[in-house]
Homo-oligomer: A and B are copies of this chain.
Amino acid sequence: MLQQLGKNAKQAERYLMTASTEDKNKALKEIAQALRDHAGEIIAANKIDLENGEKNGMPQSIADRLKLDDERIEGMAKGVMDIVALDDPVGKVLKEIRRPNGLKIQKVSTPLGVIAVIFEARPNVTSDAAALCLKSGNTVILRGGKEAIHSNTVIAQVMRDAVSRAGMPQDVISLVEDTSRESATELMTMNQYVDVLIPRGGAGLIQAVVKNATVPVIETGVGNCHIYIDKEADCDKAVQIVFNAKTSRPSVCNAAESLLIHRDIAPQVLPAIRKKLDEKQVVLVGDEPSRALDETIESATEDDWAKEYLDYKMSVKIVGSLQEAIGHIYRYSTGHSECIVTENMETAEQFMNAVDSAAVYVNASTRFTDGGEFGFGAEIGISTQKLHARGPIGLPELQSFKYKIYGTGQIR
């Protein structure tokens, strides 16, 4: 059955690949309107998911993410309309080459094809991912978690009916209703139908995908983000940035998890940071030199340096040099976002060039690694791999390209 779904998605891709911007926007507007019109049904289905969750002892934090109400559905519809307003990424001439033999070669952006998205509890991903894929000319196969299956099924059906009303094949959007582990594994290996797989979720999901997928994957999400406070840092900026990056939303991947401080500035800046973080009861764990400066810091283990806490907790290490900070980041970073706080722009450049992460900052919170904050309008996730897309995955990153070669009978 999954094979048939894949085949249908691939078939629909032939249509969507060359669809006009107008047709795609018309379908997106239908989707937005349909989400509003069917809010009652969606909320009713979501209620079943929530009740099942309660029966099965779902943690409150997951139930919070799962829950849909009128306001959240209006947010989903608005998210779809935001994508209507974005520039169509398909068919851009990225480069034009004229060859001495008279050939004209155009490098032109094209959809990737069929994108499979495997995600966890948030049902709003269903409409977000579908709208981003549709606008970028890609058909989408959605595979959400079993906790949200009733919500996702209704949302997907509402969207399929909507694109159909707009004159598109409904298979440009499809949902895998089988939420077993087997169906996920099968989806990861359907090379004949799936061009790219994007997992959206925790470290466990990402690892399962990397291990089992034979289709090309864009890895997303895990962020063990570092902030390095250089000896020439402005202390006030350091305090504000650390506080914001750690506490403004600790559960997201661009939140800071680890703090490196140059030993020359540590006696001055660490107490100020500690004081500020106390406002949110942040737990600090650190190495011996940091604990010598602040006895409230707990002792860090080796595991702490590699940990993405996603909580009000942070590791602290005192370093003797820029090179030591870079070496530590090289060893423990997940390649998401890292920041240096310094007034010395030469030091900043050294740091930003040497650190091999998707986003490298000087004097700004790591929380800005986000499609909206970068001005992309929307994103389907944050890529932490180096192939194809890195950082926020917006509409242009959902494109491949082809070469169109115009000849007049040239042979080689």
Contact A386 B113 (CB under 8 A): yes
- Point out the residues of chain B lying under 8 angstroms from A360, CB to CB: 402-405
The 0/1 profile, CB within 8 Å of B marked 1, for residues 327-365 of chain A is 000100000000000000000000011101111111111
A8 CB-CB contact with B under 8 Å: no
Residue from A17, A99, A217, A406 having most chain B Cβ neighbours under 10 A: A406
Nearest residue (CB) in B for A406 is B362
Asked if A400 CB lies within 8 Å of chain B CBs, one says yes
Q: Mark A395-410, 1 if CB is under 8 A from B, else 0.
A: 0000011111111111
Interface: A261 (CB within 8 A)? no
Do A412 and B362 contact each other (CB < 8 Å), given the known contacts A113-B356, A113-B386?
no
Report the minimal beta-carbon distance from A19 to chain B, rounded to whole angstroms: 11
Q: Tell me which of A22-30, A79-87, A233-241 binds B.
A: A233-241
B386 touches A387 (CB 8 A): no
Residue interface mask A67-86, B partner, CB < 8 A = 1:
00000000000000000000
Contact among B361, B369, B388, B409 for A387, CB-based, below 8 A: B388
Closest-CB distance, A249 to chain B (whole angstroms): 9
Residue among B367, B375, B404 making CB contact with A412, cutoff 8 Å: B367
Q: Is the CB of B195 within 8 A of A373?
A: no
Which residues of B sit under 8 angstroms from A1, Cβ to Cβ? none
Tell whether, in the assembled complex, residue A196 and residue B386 are in contact, meaning their CB atoms are under 8 Å apart. yes
- Which of A195, A244, A402 counts the most B-chain CB atoms under 10 A from its CB? A402
- The answer to whether B218 and A210 have CB atoms under 8 Å apart is no
Which chain B residues lie closer than 8 Å to A412 at the CB level? Answer: 244, 248, 365, 367-368, 373
Q: Which residue of chain B is the closest to A349 with respect to CB atoms? A: B404
Complex copy number for this chain: 2
Q: Does A299 contact B (CB under 8 A)?
A: no
Give the docked Cα–Cα distance between A285 and B248 (Å).
Answer: 68
Apart from A99-B375, A196-B387, list 17 A-B contacts with CB within 8 A.
A14-B330, A17-B356, A99-B373, A103-B368, A110-B356, A112-B387, A216-B385, A216-B387, A248-B412, A361-B407, A364-B406, A364-B408, A365-B412, A369-B403, A373-B412, A387-B387, A391-B403
Residue numbers of A with Cβ under 8 A of B are 14, 17-18, 97, 99, 103, 105, 110, 112-113, 191, 195-196, 210-211, 214, 216-218, 234, 236-237, 240-241, 243-245, 248, 330, 352-354, 356-365, 367-369, 373-375, 385-388, 390-391, 400-412
Q: List 7 A-B contacts (CB under 8 A).
A: A110-B356, A211-B214, A248-B412, A363-B406, A368-B407, A374-B403, A391-B402
